Amino acid sequence: MIPSRPFGRTTAGRLVKVANRIRGLHEQFGTRSYRVWLVWIEWPGGQRGSGEPGVLKELELLPVPRIPEEAVVRRRYSSGGSERDGDLTLDQIALPEPGTETATDAVTAELLRGEAPFEGGRIPPGVEFLYELRPTTPGATTMRFTLASEPKRDHGRLQWVVHLRHRNPDSRQDGRTAEATW
């Protein structure tokens, strides 16, 4: 029987720093078409769609995660216009290096769920948490997503994986549409 060891004391745990540096090369070479930001939006009326929203906090995920080729976000057309629809997966999200799991900038499940910046680990009422994909190429559209399922820590590939659902930025809670100002 092989004795159990903490992840940081395994060969895989020691390779996390190397994997994160290699992933950082994508940013240097410009091979990612989007940058990924975690964004917390505050709605002054205490709920989504109530009042004019403002950005409470933003945090870029670095090194830049990968959007696998099989991501499906498409336009859905109707008599009233069109909107984006679909889900996608982000992978190659950096694991925290062993010993840094409690650092304020460490990528943890709590951070990927949007809970980390708040006392008690709960997103307060009137705050919305989104993933924002900002294009690196001119003319492309910024897309916003919500978390579709629990973040998955993939030790074998030294990464976090998250599944996201597209969020129409113009839809309000009351069903009306408005210009997105954030």
Quote the pLDDT of residue 180.
Answer: 41
pLDDT by residue (tens digit) across 13-61? 777 777 778 777 777 788 888 899 999 999 988 887 788 899 999 999 9
pLDDT by residue (tens digit) across 99-132? 665 555 678 899 999 998 888 889 988 999 999 9
Q: Which residue has the tokens 């839809």?
A: 171
pLDDT by residue (tens digit) across 32-42? 888 999 999 99
Residues 6+ apart with CB under 8 A from 42: 53, 54, 55, 56, 126, 127, 128
Task: Find residue 37's DSSP bridge partners.
Answer: 60, 132
Quote the pLDDT of residue 171.
Answer: 40
pTM of the model: 0.77
Asked if pLDDT for residue 9 goes beyond 60, the answer is yes
Quote the pLDDT of residue 78.
Answer: 67
H/E stretch holding 25 reads helix 11-29
Instruction: Specify whether the CB–CB gap between 92 and 159 falls below 8 A.
Output: yes
Q: Which residue has the tokens 């290096």?
A: 97
Quote the pLDDT of residue 111.
Answer: 92
Asked if pLDDT for residue 175 goes beyond 60, the answer is no
Residues 6+ apart with CB under 8 A from 48: 128, 172, 173
Residues 6+ apart with CB under 8 A from 117: 40, 57, 111
Query: For residue 143, which phi and psi values (nearest 5 degrees)?
Result: -120, 145
What span, in angstroms and rounded, lies between the C-alpha atoms of 99 and 61? Answer: 19
Per the omega criterion (within 30 degrees of 0), is the bond before 138 cis?
A: no
